[in-house]
Amino acid sequence: MLLADSAAVIATVLAVITLIPQIMKLWRTRNAEGVSATWAAFGTVSNGAWAAYLASQSLWLALPSTSVMAVFYLITLLLIGWTGRSILRATSLGTLWALALAAAGLVGGWQGLGLILGVSFGVQATPSLWTAFHTWAPRGISSGTWQLILIEGVLWGAYGAGYSDRAVVVYGILSTIASGLMLGRYYGTRHRWLDPTRPSSVPSST
């Protein structure tokens, strides 16, 4: 289990800084083009639920990162609102997601919650991908954040495989795929950043 534990330690360290590039970019530029408020709301809820699940399974090495991530996602959500975007719809959707996770835990116990959390990054990343791919020039995205998420995904997948935890493995796979797509969109549209002919086509509350 040494390799799995090492992967978790590295991923935990990375998680502490994963959202810092995005937070700093929002603070510096006050530009949230291509950044989904719903992604941030879902991230807050999902990481809070992950913290509870990991504690229940005694997966202590992974616990600090998820707790920190919950806080950082909340900061990201608030900063998106600070840029002038409405976060009311995102907050409402985040509340519904929290209720869905709570229901899964009540019906299926910790294992039931774990199954839902296994695909939680897919749920969380969907609005982010939707926003990025429907924004002409998603200048607000931080490539640094998604590069770190990509590395984290690989590491959490290794950690979950080492402990035969399907929820963590699925999370790792989905986060790796999603971050790869986000980076592709980011670098594939950089030539449009100075093109004023097409405005953002995504509703401001996404």
102-122 pLDDT, tens per residue?
998 899 888 888 878 877 878
- Listed in sequence order, the DSSP H helices in the chain are 2-18, 20-29, 37-56, 63-82, 88-118, 120-133, 143-162, 166-188
**pLDDT at position 31 over 80:** yes
Residue 197 lies in a domain: no
For 14, the token pair is 């990375």
Residue 147 is part of which domain span?
Answer: 2-191
Residue 205 lies in a domain: no
Residue 176 lies in a domain: yes
Number of domains in the chain: 1
Contact 101, 117 (CB under 8 A): yes
**pLDDT at position 197 over 60:** yes
Geometric angle at alpha carbon 170, from 130 and 125, rounded to 5°: 15
Residue 101 lies in a domain: yes
Residue 204 lies in a domain: no
Residue 199 lies in a domain: no
